[in-house]
């Protein structure tokens, strides 16, 4: 007779743990770095800060690339956080799926808008 120890249930979402924890920290660090770069550029800018200064800040291709990477990091950071909130607090599977789909649609829309604004400068 074989003895089976432990639980036989499948825990949905348990495999996300360490990877998503690390992703949240890495994306947060990248966003903090971006914030420091923007603040440093603004602090060392002379004169009043208007549209021309902001446009000049983001006109450089390197700054556009850093901003693009930060936007992607922000969107992934939000997705991981919201997915975890939906999985933790919304028990009906159908409602959780609808909320996750709406979150994805909203984030893709935000990404399109942010990239359009960034490349318009």
Tens-binned pLDDT, residue by residue, of the chain (121 aa): 566 666 665 555 556 688 889 999 999 999 999 999 999 998 888 888 888 888 888 888 999 999 999 999 999 999 999 999 999 999 999 999 999 999 999 999 999 999 898 888 6
Whole-model pTM: value is 0.79
Q: Is 98 helix (H, G, I), strand (E, B) or coil?
A: helix
| Cβ–Cβ under 8 Å, residues 24 and 76 | no
Which residues belong to the annotated binding site for a ubiquinone? 89
Which residues belong to the annotated binding site for heme? 77
Which residues belong to the annotated binding site? 77, 89
């Amino acid at each position: 007779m074989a003895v089976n120890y432990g639980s036989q249930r499948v825990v949905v979402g348990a495999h996300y743990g360490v990877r998503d924890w690390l992703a949240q920290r890495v994306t947060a660090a990248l966003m903090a770095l971006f914030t420091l770069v923007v603040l440093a550029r603004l602090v060392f800018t002379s004169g009043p800060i208007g549209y021309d200064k902001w446009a000049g800040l983001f006109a450089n291709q390197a700054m556009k690339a850093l901003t693009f990477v930060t936007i992607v990091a922000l969107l992934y950071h939000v997705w991981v956080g919201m997915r975890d909130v939906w999985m933790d607090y919304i028990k009906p599977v159908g409602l959780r799926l609808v909320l996750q789909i709406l979150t994805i649609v909203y984030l893709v829309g935000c990404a399109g808008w942010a990239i359009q604004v960034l490349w318009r400068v």
